[in-house]
């Protein structure tokens, strides 16, 4: 079941990567504008362990935000009860990310650990406000916090005012404990549906004002429907009532069709803007920019020509 939620989290990040910026600002008290380049790195890492050599680990996100100073981030999505194992898993990921990108100069190994955080979809009494790493080395002890974002503590107003739009697919978790009531009480279910109608209307408003593109909006709606379908499996009235609203909002076209056919007005422009920022930095080849931005070499060459005009 958790794979559905992990998949939704990865999808919204990979397909609508700009939506992570307000979340990073919220968690790490950053002040990114949203115009920064974001570069994602492979999520697969192979851990060398005595009992399981070459064991593969897949992280939820591993990316760098190129602000005034480039910073690496690693964010995980978690829905299970905190039991200590996730802290070990996080450190394994972080150490491997640092080692994969480490540099050796004159027999000196330099590794940079990412800024790490966890998004908890469910909040239990045992859910802490933060985790902590304490690393004891021969040269001294290093310790730092790993912040936790508790998704259920954010109201709809919080989400829209802070532009934490990538939390919307998981907003249904805040109602999970009330599913039995919604399922048996039509009036209470009606109130839940009204709340989701407000979500759809506010997303429409953001699209009309150009805050988000059509593709971003449809991806949020599509993933919201996927999560509702999964979390409300035992509550057919909830699943049908709210889930059908999400499906109805996607009748004209699906987010995947827009992406595959390249018809989203926001997609090509975002790719071009990303390529232009890379060209201005002047640190990558045309071929590298084309690969990272998802454009053809000829398209990047045309953009480069426009810069020199």
pLDDT in tens, 291-303: 777 788 888 888 7
Q: Which one has a higher pLDDT value, 307 or 155?
A: 155
User: Mean of the pLDDT values across residues 100-113?
Assistant: 91
Cα of 118 vs its chain's centroid, Å: 11
* Cβ atoms within 10 Å, residue 145: 12
Q: What is the mean pLDDT of the chain?
A: 84
For 118-132, write each residue's pLDDT tens digit.
999 999 888 889 999
Contacts of residue 118, Cβ cutoff 8 Å, sequence gap at least 6: 75, 76, 77, 78, 86, 90, 131, 146, 147, 148, 149
Name the pLDDT band for 173 (thresholds 50, 70, 90).
Answer: very high
* pLDDT tops 60 at residue 259: no
**Does the pLDDT of residue 264 top 80, yes or no?**
no
Task: List, in order, residues 6 or more apart from 131 with CB less than 8 Å away.
Answer: 87, 90, 118, 145, 146, 148
- What's the pTM value of the predicted model, to 2 decimals? 0.75
> Does the pLDDT at position 228 exceed 60?
yes
């Amino acid at each position: 079941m958790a794979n559905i939620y992990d998949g939704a989290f990865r999808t919204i990040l990979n397909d609508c990567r700009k939506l992570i910026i307000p979340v990073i600002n919220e968690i790490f008290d950053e002040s990114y504008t949203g115009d920064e380049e974001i570069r994602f790195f492979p999520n697969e890492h192979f851990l060398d362990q005595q009992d399981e050599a070459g064991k593969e680990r897949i992280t939820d996100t591993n990316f760098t935000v190129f602000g005034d100073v480039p910073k690496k981030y690693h964010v995980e999505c978690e829905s299970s009860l905190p039991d200590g194992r996730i802290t070990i898993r996080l450190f394994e990921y972080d150490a491997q990310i640092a080692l994969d990108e480490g540099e050796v100069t004159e027999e000196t190994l330099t590794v940079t650990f990412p800024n790490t955080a966890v998004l908890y979809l469910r909040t239990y009494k045992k859910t802490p406000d933060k985790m902590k790493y304490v690393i004891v080395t021969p040269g001294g002890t290093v310790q730092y916090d790993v912040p936790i974002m508790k998704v259920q503590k954010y109201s709809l107003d919080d989400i829209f005012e802070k532009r934490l739009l990538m939390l919307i697919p998981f907003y249904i978790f805040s109602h999970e404990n009330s599913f039995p009531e919604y399922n048996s009480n039509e009036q209470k279910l009606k109130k839940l549906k009204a709340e989701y109608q407000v979500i759809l209307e506010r997303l429409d408003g953001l699209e009309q004002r150009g805050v988000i593109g059509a593709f971003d909006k449809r991806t949020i709606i599509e993933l919201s429907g996927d999560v509702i379908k999964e979390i409300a499996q035992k509550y057919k009235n909830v699943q049908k009532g709210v889930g059908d609203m999400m499906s109805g909002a996607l009748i004209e076209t699906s987010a995947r069709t827009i992406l595959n056919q390249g018809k989203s007005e926001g997609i090509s422009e975002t790719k071009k803007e990303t390529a232009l920022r890379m060209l201005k930095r002047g640190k990558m080849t045309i071929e590298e920019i084309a690969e990272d931005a998802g454009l053809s070499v000829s398209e990047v060459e045309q953009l480069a020509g426009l810069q020199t005009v």
